[in-house]
Amino acid sequence: MAGGVILIVLYLVAIFAGFVAPYSYDRQDRDRFFHPPTSPRLSGFRLVVPRYEQLPGAFVYRAVADDTKPIHFFVHGGEYKLFGLIPATVHLFGTGDKNYPVYLLGTDQFGRDVLSRLLYGSQISLSIGVVGILLSFTFGMIIGGISGYFSGWTDTVIMRLCELIMSIPALYLIISLRATFPPGMSSPQVYAMIIIILSFIGWASMARVIRGMTLSLREQQFVLAARAMGQTHLKVIVRHILPNTFSYVIVAATLSVPYYILGEVVLSFLGVGIQEPSASWGNMLTAAQNTEYLRNYPWLLSPGAAIFITVLAFNFLGDGLRDAADTKS
């Protein structure tokens, strides 16, 4: 269950991103492009960060010896909106002095704090997974239930449609779907678009499995009883058949969340998803595609590590849930 704990921490941090992040996602420090990660160290009982000095003519920095500032907790800094509503200025940590910045993961090519962007980006990347799963699995379950319950030509049409969607390699379909949306959308619009695209593809595999389960469930006594009592078809499907598939659905959902997260990452990485200056794990990685940046400023890869940890945690959790739901062993 370590996966579950990691995920709870990740999502809590994402919710309170504005508070945890020392800076805002679009604050540019024009004096410090490609600043290396600052390493705080213990001096007495306080954590201190050194001041970094830029060597002339290059984006190479060196810590100045004996010139440090202590890190304060709950420090006042740039303004942000907690939960997107409550204006606040208190940040978890910082020095309160802009000559002694705390860039734990360095800065990018525009002098923006990578850690802060990572945290703001997690709001988008992590929520897309959950919202996408909720949407596509709800549709998948209902459509699969209808398909299996009614059979006949309804079933044939729906299943052929599923086959059609599943036979196109996912990313090719994603890009063709992306083409139907206009360029130059605002960030919330792009966010909604990514969810719609990923859900449009995701429901098919779910529907197929649920249909298979419904085919055997609908012959069972309790379904016949519910129908004999005169319940409507929709009610029988939603109230009696689908709840019996939940143990499968929950495991499948947990194991599918990574695909949605990666879907956003790929779209944003290729430049057709979340646009700058908004941060997402995908568009942050775009900078790392430049091999020159990659060699000299490897901290630009940190969103990749974040994706890896998240996917690993979801896989751990999904495996644990599957073992718990599996009555065979």
Partner 1 sequence: MWSYVFKRLLHMIPLLLGVSLLTFLLMALSPGNYFTALSQNPQISPETIAHLKAQFHLDQPWYVQYFYWFKSVLHGDFGYSMAYKIPATSLIVQRLWNTFLLSFFALIIAWGIAIPLGIWAAVKKDSWVDRGCSLFAFVGLSVPDVLLSLLALWFAAATGWFPVGGAQSALYDFLSPAQQFWDRAHHLILPATVLAASDLAGIMRRMRSCLLDTLRAEYVTAARARGLGEGWVIYKHALRNAINPLLTIFGYSLAALLSGAFIVENIMAWPGLGRLTMEAFFAKDSYLVVDCVVMATALLVAGNFIADLLLAWSDPRIRLK
Applying CB under 8 A, the span of 49-57, 134-142, 227-235, 312-320 interacting with partner 1 comes to 312-320
| Strand (E) or helix (H) holding 302 | helix 302-325
Q: How far apart are CA 5 and CA 125, in angstroms?
A: 18
Least distance to partner 1, CB of residue 209, Å? 14
**Subset of 292-311 contacting partner 1 (CB under 8 A):** 294-295, 298, 301, 304-305, 307-308, 311
Least distance to partner 1, CB of residue 311, Å? 4
**Helix/strand/coil for 106:** coil
Compare residues 99 and 176 and give the one whose CB is closer to partner 1. 176
Query: Of 221, 291, 327, 329, which lies in the binding site for partner 1, with binding defined by CB under 8 A?
Result: 291
Least distance to partner 1, CB of residue 148, Å? 20
Least distance to partner 1, CB of residue 169, Å? 4
Q: How far apart are CA 315 and CA 254, in angstroms?
A: 8
Query: Of 152, 182, 188, 230, which lies in the binding site for partner 1, with binding defined by CB under 8 A?
Result: 182
Which tokens belong to 82?
Answer: 């907690």
Least distance to partner 1, CB of residue 172, Å? 5
Q: Is cis: bond before 277, omega within 30 of 0?
A: yes
Would you count residue 288 as binding partner 1 (CB under 8 A)? yes
> Exposed, middle or buried, 66 (CB in 10 Å: 0-12/13-18/19+)?
exposed
Q: How many helices (H) and strands (E) does the chain have?
A: 12, 5
Would you count residue 289 as binding partner 1 (CB under 8 A)? yes
Compare residues 93 and 299 and give the one whose CB is closer to partner 1. 299
**Subset of 140-179 contacting partner 1 (CB under 8 A):** 160, 163-164, 167-173, 175-179
Mutual angle of helices 187-217 and 246-269, in 10-degree steps: 150
**Subset of 209-238 contacting partner 1 (CB under 8 A):** none
Tell the residue number behind the tokens 């086959």, with chain if given. 163
Give φ, ψ of 297 to 5 degrees: -130, 70
Q: How many residues does the chain have?
A: 329
Q: Is cis: bond before 258, omega within 30 of 0?
A: no
**Helix/strand/coil for 81:** strand
Instruction: Tell me the site size for partner 1, rule CB under 8 A.
Output: 42
* Residues facing residue 73 across a β-bridge: 93
Compare residues 88 and 266 and give the one whose CB is closer to partner 1. 266
* Binding-site ranges for partner 1 (CB under 8 A): 160, 163-164, 167-173, 175-182, 258, 262, 265-266, 269-270, 272, 282, 285, 288-289, 291, 294-295, 298, 301, 304-305, 307-308, 311-312, 315-316
